[in-house]
Chain A
Amino acid sequence: MNADAPKPSAAADAKKTADPTQTHLVVALKHARPLTAVRFDPKLQYVFTGAEDNTVQRWKLADAQALAAGAKGADGKPLEVKPTLFEGHDSWVRAIGFSPDGKTLYTGGYDGQVITWDATADKPKPIRKFDAHNNQWVRAIVVSADGKQLATCGNDNLVKLWNAADGKLIREFKGHESHVYNVAFHPDGKSLASCDLKANFKHWEIATGKCVRDFKAEALHKYDTGFRADIGGARALAFSRDGKLLAAGGITNVTNAFAGIGNPAVAELDWESGKLKVLHVGKEAVNGVIWGLEQHVDGYWLGIAGSRGKGSNVYFWKPEAAQEFFKFNVPDVGRDMSLAADGVQFAVAHADGNLRIYRMEKKA
């Protein structure tokens, strides 16, 4: 879910003043229903969320900042910030991507549809809508660095490459034997990586559609013999900025699949060999799964772990260290996260319906 390219930006590279140990909540914006996804747009005008009501919500960052600064409405009460709704899906949306200029929004839903939108429209309407995965869940959308192509994956066990301009299918990547949970563009633009429910990874050559190699992150999959079901997969997937590492967020040490008893983990794989370099886990063994994952321009990974009943933690891991160097507890279960291009803010989509925006710097 959290693999939308492009990751690096001039803004992000310019600013490296973030200090995770100073992380604090800036503002909480409430939607009527539990949230499922979140992304900052590349130009930092908006934050987009998905929710359990099948809509996508656009929140103006300027409004959020005004509310955080104590702005009042005409009635003297705190400013009421309402999102603009993007209505067009017939099921939940957990996949959100943008064109590099932030003008075009792509959303993928559990209705199998990919919809193209004018991200800035006052009254947004679908520009284009197509059945991307045979009427089955679209689990992830990523946009190529040049903005010309979209890659999607879903419950039809396929990865697909689309022309962003007209929504035409360019190529299908066949080979996974279970639901494909995530996909990411390699920074070199020549390869895709995908991961399925059973934590089987595939390295695809974009130009030919050929599967170059297969590898597996055993730690992120389990067949629970008691429940007779598989649990696992990359709930979040991201390449490191230099393309040398592929990080997959999920759940490990599962002892009870149907109660989600297992620990959040990020499998950091060496891209060249496909072998596990580091399995990032928490110092304290809490139950949960990594739902969102980003690499900061300073090199460390941020991962949001949804943990039932105990709120959630945002973990900060250095690439070489298995355990976090810092952990920030957020007040409710986090289901996705997005790191802003300024490298200082991150947003979390919470199960309690709140979009919460945090800053990694000393509180003003």
Chain B
Amino acid sequence: MKCSYACRTADHVVSRRSFLGAVGAVGAGLGVSGFVQPAIAEQLQKNHKRILTIFLHGGVSQLESWDPKPNTDTGGPTRAIPTSVPGVHISELLPYTAKQMHRLTLVRGINTKNGDHGKGHIEMLTGRKKDPGQDYPHLGALAAKLLTPDKFALPGHIFVSGGGSSVAGPAYLGPKFAAVSLDGAKPPQYAERIAGMTEESDTRRNKFRASVNDHFAARRRSADTDAYTFSYDQAQQLLAKRDVFDLSKEPGKEHEKYGKSEFAQHLLMARRMLENGVPFVQVNHTNYDTHYENFDFHIEQLGEFDRPFATLIEDLAEREMLKDTLVVVMSEFGRTPKINASYGRDHWGNAWSVAMAGTGLKAGAVVGATNANGTAVTDREVDHGHLLHTYLRAVGVDSKGEFVIGGRKLPIADPSKSAIEEILA
């Protein structure tokens, strides 16, 4: 699928894995055994922490969201409003979110030194710089690997596309932890028995397939045949869990509460998946690549984001899910403080923000700061590496730990970075 970015870089021409493709592409899964300390891994999986990443595709403006600078040369026409945390102001474009600030945590001193969409995606989702010689696992793959309970029927890493892609893969963790992509708030394609086939026929068919498979595996078993077997097993389990993806099962008042936009429906779907224990869900909201008329487009896009997001946070809190769920709102970068002649803002990674909420975090905390007009970080500068450590620590993972892959030790997160301790609970 071609992603239409304003800048049209090659990074934006990407393919989206189909659901069936994901189910069928299972490679050398590591399971708990790939972790340096299996006992810790088992404990993590029992704790049942979950992560929801909301990716504001294209690069949301920090000045129109988490770090407004009204009445400055860079602030634009956007004003700041008070929030439920005394002294903390965010953009007037987020009035519903402002009321949930006591449940959010802001990181305002991000400097990723990058203004490239593709690199920004990879950095923010893997916590590492793009390295030609080595791929690093997507946060979703890490979560699926580290947080998925044993014998879990659903995929551990689900991507709900709302435009845009999820570019980073599972890397050395293997395709078992790659994203299963849902095309919007719809049940996965092919997750029901073929019309016209009876349950009895289906059972007979599967028995035959299993016997042929076993016969073959007895002599020529390999990682590929294991992956093949896993994909069928998971598909079978998914048939029984298909209702998780069926939004019609939600009461009307829930739909009303979240709203009817596509993004609202995606968040409602995400909540259902988290409620059913899916360890990692990513929901994209597009698009924020506003080189032209930044302010009009941010009114439009954040207007769509604000209420459903605030509703989700409140909903997770009321269902007591925030204590086990980490929510992260990120982009590939922020936008330039300088306003261009077309009322736009361009790519900017030097001073921007991320918002989080939930498990392992100090609610209502703000860490880091930028100068008066947002052109530089002045306090507690961090980057994608620190953020990844923080996400993992928040869900109970020792981010300084290692995987053992083929006898080789691989750090879970960039060993030169560490978590932002000030915001960890």
Q: A131 contacts the other chain (Cβ, under 8 Å)?
A: no
**B341–A333 contact, CB under 8 A?**
yes
Counting CB contacts under 8 A, is B77 at the interface? yes
Q: Are A260 and B71 in contact (CB under 8 A)?
A: no
Known: A91-B77, A256-B6, A258-B297. Is A54-B71 also a contact (CB below 8 A)? yes
Nearest Cβ in chain B — how far from A115, in angstroms? 16
Docked-complex contact A228 and B163, CB < 8 angstroms: yes
Contact present for B71 and A308 (CB under 8 Å):
no
Q: Is the CB of B300 within 8 A of A306?
A: no
**Which residues in window 300-323 of A have CB below 8 A to B?**
306, 308
A230 to B342: give the CA distance in the assembly, Å. 17
Task: Please state if B58 and A258 are interface contacts (CB–CB under 8 Å).
Answer: yes
In the complex the two chains form, is A332's CB within 8 Å of B341's CB? yes
B410 proximal to A (CB < 8 A): no
Closest to B262 in A: A228
Which among B6, B76, B77, B163 is the interface contact of A258 at CB below 8 angstroms? B6
Q: Does A127 contact B (CB under 8 A)?
A: no
In the bound complex, do residue B291 and residue A91 qualify as a contact, i.e. CB atoms below 8 Å apart? no
Beta-carbon contact of B339 and A34 below 8 Å? yes
When chains A and B are docked, how far (Å) is the Cα of A352 from the Cα of B342?
A: 11
Of listed B2, B77, B339, residue having the most chain A CB within 10 A = B77
- In the complex the two chains form, what is the Cα distance from A256 to B339 in whole Å? 19
Q: Is there a chain A Cβ closer than 8 Å to B202's Cβ?
A: no
A110 CA to B71 CA, complexed, in Å: 13
Say whether A258 contacts B290, CB under 8 Å.
Answer: yes
* CB-based contact A33/B71 at 8 Å: no
Number of chain A residues close to chain B: CB under 8 A: 32
B292–A34 contact, CB under 8 A?
Answer: no
Does B79 sit within 8 A of A, measured CB to CB?
yes
Whether A110 lies near B77 (C-beta < 8 A) is yes
User: Which chain A residues numbered 231 to 270 have a C-beta less than 8 Å away from chain B?
Assistant: 231, 256-260
Contact indicator A308/B79 (Cβ below 8 Å): no
Chain B residues positioned under 8 Å from A34 (CB to CB): 339, 341
Flag if B73 contacts A259 (CB, 8 Å).
Answer: no
A224 pairs with B4, CB closer than 8 A:
yes
A332 to B341, CA, bound (A): 9
Indicate with 1 or 0, residue by residue over B283-327, a CB within 8 angstroms of chain A CB atoms.
000110111110111011100000000000000000000000000
Residue of B nearest to A111 (CB): B79
Contact between chains at A52 and B291 (CB < 8 Å): no
Closest to B7 in A: A259
Q: Which residues of chain A from 116 to 162 have a CB within 8 Å of any chain B CB? A: 137, 155
A315–B136 Cα gap in the complex (Å)? 54
Residue B374 at the chain A interface, CB threshold 8 Å: no
From the candidates A33, A90, A155, A226, name the one contacting B79 in the complex (CB within 8 A): A90
Q: A226-B287, A227-B4, A229-B300 are in contact. Are A258 and B292 (CB under 8 A)?
A: yes
| A173 contacts across to B, CB distance below 8 A | none
* A115, B378: Cα distance in complex, Å: 37
Most chain A beta-carbon neighbours within 10 Å: one of B4, B7, B340: B4
- B342 near A260 with CB under 8 A, answer yes
- CB of B90, distance to nearest CB on chain A (Å): 16
Tell me if B77 and A351 are in contact (CB < 8 A).
no
Q: With A230-B300, A258-B287, A258-B292 known to touch, is A92 a contact of B77 (CB < 8 Å)?
A: yes
Q: Mark contacts of A15-42 with chain B using CB atoms, 8 A cut-off: 1 yes-contact digit, 0 otherwise.
A: 0000000000000000001100000000
Residues of A within 8 A of B2 (CB): 226
Known: A33-B73, A34-B341, A259-B7. A227 touches B286 (CB 8 A): yes
Q: Known contacts A258-B289, A308-B292: does B342 contact A155 (CB below 8 Å)? A: no
State the CA gap A91–B75 with chains docked (Å). 10
Digitize A329-355: 1 where CB-to-B-CB distance is under 8 Å, 0 elsewhere. 000110000000000000000011000
Q: Which residues of B contact A227 (CB under 8 A)?
A: 4, 6, 58, 163, 286-287, 289, 297
| Whole-angstrom distance between the Cβ of B183 and the nearest chain A Cβ | 15
Q: Does B22 contact A (CB under 8 A)?
A: no
State whether the Cβ of B3 lies closer than 8 Å to any Cβ in chain A: yes
Q: Is the CB–CB distance between A260 and B291 below 8 Å?
A: yes
Cβ-closest chain B residue relative to A334: B341
**CB of A352 to closest CB in B, whole Å:** 8
Question: Which of chain B's residues have a CB closer than 8 A to the CB of A110?
Answer: 77, 295
- Partner of A155 from B4, B6, B299, B341 at Cβ < 8 Å: B299
Decide if B293 touches A226 in the complex (CB within 8 Å).
no
Cα–Cα distance between A329 and B42 once the two chains are bound (Å): 70
Q: Which residues of B (251-298) have their CB < 8 Å from a CB of A? A: 286-287, 289-293, 295-297
Q: A257-B292, A258-B291, A259-B6 are in contact. Are A228 and B341 (CB under 8 A)?
A: no
**Which residues in chain A, 45-73, are within 8 Å of chain B measured between CB atoms?**
52-54
- Please tell me if B155 contacts chain A, counting CB pairs below 8 Å: no
CA distance A137 to B93 in the complex (A): 12
B344 interface hit (Cβ, 8 Å): yes
Judge whether A226 and B341 touch: CB under 8 Å: no
Q: Report the minimal beta-carbon distance from B71 to chain A, rounded to whole angstroms.
A: 7
B77 adjacent to A333 (CB under 8 Å): no
The CA-CA distance from A308 to B7 in the complex, in Å, is: 14
A-B contact pairs, 19 of them (CB 8 A): A54-B71, A90-B70, A90-B71, A92-B76, A110-B77, A110-B295, A226-B5, A227-B6, A228-B162, A228-B163, A228-B287, A256-B6, A256-B8, A257-B292, A258-B58, A258-B289, A258-B290, A259-B7, A260-B342
Having A259-B6, A333-B341, one finds 4 other A-B pairs with CB under 8 Å, namely: A137-B77, A179-B299, A225-B4, A258-B290
Q: Which residues of A contact B (CB under 8 A)?
A: 33-34, 52-54, 90-92, 110-111, 137, 155, 179, 224-231, 256-260, 306, 308, 332-333, 351-352
Report which B residues bind A (CB closer than 8 A).
2-8, 58, 70-71, 73, 76-79, 162-163, 286-287, 289-293, 295-297, 299-301, 339-342, 344
Give the 4 A-B CB pairs with smallest separation, nearest first.
A226-B4, A260-B292, A351-B341, A259-B6
